[in-house]
């Protein structure tokens, strides 16, 4: 399964969600002007990344017939 290109894309999408989430939590923890400037943008990017990851996971399940 790890040689499957679609699986690799799904894994990368999930890692992107984690990266954006960690960035958002870090900016929230830092606070101040940085948080005011980037908090909403980071959470919007997280929602977009999660949406894409879920769509890719569903596509993977559908294509592989699992």
Predicted confidence at residue 57, as pLDDT, reads 95
Spatial separation of the C-alpha atoms in residues 12 and 17, rounded to whole Å: 9
Instruction: Read off the pTM.
Output: 0.82
5-58: pLDDT as tens digits: 999 999 999 999 999 999 988 888 888 888 888 888 888 999 999 999 999 999
> In angstroms, what CA-CA distances link 37 with 4, 32, 33, 47?
39, 9, 6, 18
């Amino acid at each position: 399964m790890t040689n499957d290109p679609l699986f690799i894309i799904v894994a990368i999408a999930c890692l992107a969600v984690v990266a954006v989430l960690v960035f958002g939590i870090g900016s929230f923890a830092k606070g101040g002007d940085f948080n005011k400037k980037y908090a909403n943008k980071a959470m919007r990017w997280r929602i977009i990344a999660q949406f894409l990851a879920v769509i890719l996971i569903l596509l993977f399940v559908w294509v592989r017939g699992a």
